[in-house]
Amino acid sequence: MKLSVVVPMYNEEGIAHKFFERMEGVRSIFHERFGIERDKIEVIFVNDGSTDGTFNILKDLCEKHSGYVLLNLSRNHGHQITITAGIDLSKGDAVAVIDGDLQDPPETIADLYAKHLDGFDVVYAVRKKREGETFFKLLTAKMFYRLLKKLTNVNIPVDTGDFRIMSRRVVNVLMSMKERHRFIRGMISWIGFPQTGLEYERHERFSGETKYTLSKMIKFAFDGITSFSAVPLRLASYLGVFTAFIGFLYALEILRVKIFTDSIYKKVD
């Protein structure tokens, strides 16, 4: 297998068909640009416990067409675990990860692949423009990427999601990392090997709403920061030392009151 494409899908019934169509176009592009036949490309859909018709649509597509695999997770495990499961199953020399909502244009995979062939183990897609996102999402994302950059020593690129392509050796290292709270884009930066970015325009969702609820976003940001920065731990240590110090001063004060004054321990008859 030359290329595996991992696609997480959670309640994307309005998009699955369209994604499939676009992916068929990508197969043609790969044939024209790189001479890679369709049976050398596998597309792995990972259904993350969808509660709508996503599973049935994907199952139907995978049964009818060669080169498509469906992995069905036991429940909704979240984006990062979903991607991990797909990558774990992949067999390609290169593995691409792309969102299933068509915000990331599947055709860009060919550009990522071309740059990968130039000798980069990882080519990540950098969001030049983000269409159709709320002001809140744009602001929090911008702040998060910059805060993370300030807090960590690992060179995690800003404005970059998990849309990327990576070599088999990077995938092997990634799969040997067993952390349960996975912040995959950071883990890949940490792994090293030649990595580079490629700018692209992130489009509006083809249909439906974001599946990253506020609580999922907070958990994700928390995982990113706690996995890649010692600052929260250090803050906890400083806070501990500070509290202990205040406690010590207070103990001295109690001793002073007990020994030198009789004010608070005076017996009331």
Q: Which does 42 bind (CB under 5 to 8 A by kind): ligand UDP, Mg ion, none?
A: none
Q: Which does 212 bind (CB under 5 to 8 A by kind): ligand UDP, Mg ion, none?
A: ligand UDP
Binding characters for ligand UDP, 83-112, by CB under 6 A (x = yes): ----------------xxx-x---------
The single residue among 12, 13, 42, 101 that binds Mg ion, judged by CB under 5 A, is 101
Q: Does 211 bind ligand UDP (CB under 6 A)?
A: yes
Q: Does 72 bind ligand UDP (CB under 6 A)?
A: no
Q: Which does 104 bind (CB under 5 to 8 A by kind): Mg ion, ligand UDP, none?
A: none
Cα gap 164→95, rounded to integer Å: 8
Tell me the two tokens of residue 135. Answer: 């002001």
Cα gap 46→36, rounded to integer Å: 24
CA atoms within 13 A on the CB side of 118: 14
Cα gap 122→118, rounded to integer Å: 11
Q: Does 144 bind ligand UDP (CB under 6 A)?
A: no
Which residues pair with residue 6 across a beta bridge? Answer: 44, 97
When the beta carbons of 10 and 55 are compared against Mg ion, the nearer one is: 10
Binding characters for ligand UDP, 23-62, by CB under 6 A (x = yes): -------------------------x--------------
92 and 168 Cβ atoms separated by less than 8 Å: yes
Cα gap 119→100, rounded to integer Å: 27
Q: Does 10 bind ligand UDP (CB under 6 A)?
A: yes
Rg of the chain, C-alpha, whole Å: 25
68 and 38 Cβ atoms separated by less than 8 Å: no
The single residue among 82, 103, 152, 229 that binds Mg ion, judged by CB under 5 A, is 103
> Whole-number minimum distance, CB 169 to ligand UDP, in Å?
25
What Å distances lie between residue 11 and 29, 45, 121, CA to CA?
28, 12, 32
Q: Which stretch binds ligand UDP (CB under 6 A): 2-10, 87-95, 117-125, 176-184?
A: 2-10
Residue type, 182: R
Residue of 25, 41, 30 lying closest to 94 (CA atoms): 41
What residues numbered 212-241 form the site for ligand UDP, per CB under 6 A?
A: 212
- Which residues of this chain interact with ligand UDP, rule CB under 6 A? 8-10, 12, 48, 76, 78-79, 82, 99-101, 103, 210-212
